[in-house]
Amino acid sequence: MQWQDEAVIIGVKRHGESSVIAELMTRERGRHLGLVRGGRSRAMQPVLQPGNRVEVVWRARLDEHLGEFKLEPVHLRAARLMETATAVYGVQAMGALLRLLPERDPHPHLFEALDIILDAMDDPCEAGELFVRFELALLNDLGFGLDLAECAATGAREELVYVSPKSGRAVSRLAGAPYADRMLALPSFLQDSNPLAADRQTMAEAFRLTGFFLNRHVYEPRGLTQSTARDGFVQAALKALTPDPQPPAE
């Protein structure tokens, strides 16, 4: 059996003296593992770095076998991803999120999102916004999507400022006021009608929102803990959005 696809490298493990097992996020076949013979060679090591985009050919005698990868580099961005804390943690955090999906389960929109976010890592604000949307898309694919389009109580589409921690649905300011201390904040930049970019406060609210539902619906039921790389990414992104202190007035 054989197929060819586009892919982003998300992980590599040693196998034997000279080979590795590469973990890829492919466009059409989801997260997929395969053997790369000679993967520890000087020629292949720069290619087999998380974040790099490659063309991959997979071959195996049977579909259920591990199979063997042949890789050709397309976009070697791993070196650039090592330049900032946001990027270092970001590529690791997205790899950890993708491992929550069943292997070989296709999610082409997540492949596209991964590729776009990796190219946006130079801008912590843009990367943070895209990362939150990536987590929302992942929750949706896992069957735990949030409904942020209208108020769960009234159906209103204006003044949506809360998210119910029970239902994962948006709640308007008026309807949620009596329960405000028990609600999660709905960041304004996640609303389609709001063109404003995130600031530090709304970004922190967004990370708290997706982190809450990932813990509740995914990590805790599976007996898992949240990736430490996500914590690192969140801290790095928020630090980059912290305004520089103003010098004292003379």
> Does residue 91 sit within a domain?
yes
Does residue 64 sit in the same domain as residue 88?
no
Does residue 33 sit in the same domain as residue 134?
no
A 10 A CB-CB count for 211 gives: 17
pLDDT at residue 249, as a whole number: 56
Q: How many residues does the chain have?
A: 250
Does residue 33 sit in the same domain as residue 121?
no
Report the domain count for the chain: 2
Alpha-carbon span 48 to 43, nearest angstrom: 10
pLDDT tens-digit map of 46-61: 999 999 999 999 999 9
Q: What is the pTM of this model?
A: 0.93
Does residue 191 sit in the same domain as residue 136?
yes
> Does residue 113 sit within a domain?
yes
> Does residue 173 sit within a domain?
no
pLDDT tens-digit map of 181-233: 999 999 999 987 766 788 999 999 999 999 999 999 999 999 999 999 999 99
> Does residue 246 sit within a domain?
no
Which residue, 46, 77, 108, sits at the end of a domain? 77
192: exposed, middle or buried (Cβ count in 10 Å: 0-12, 13-18, 19+): exposed
Does residue 207 sit in the same domain as residue 234?
yes
pLDDT tens-digit map of 63-113: 889 999 999 999 999 999 999 999 999 999 999 999 999 999 999 999 999
Domain holding 18, by residue range, is 2-77
pLDDT at residue 241, as a whole number: 87
> Does residue 129 sit within a domain?
yes
pLDDT at residue 244, as a whole number: 52
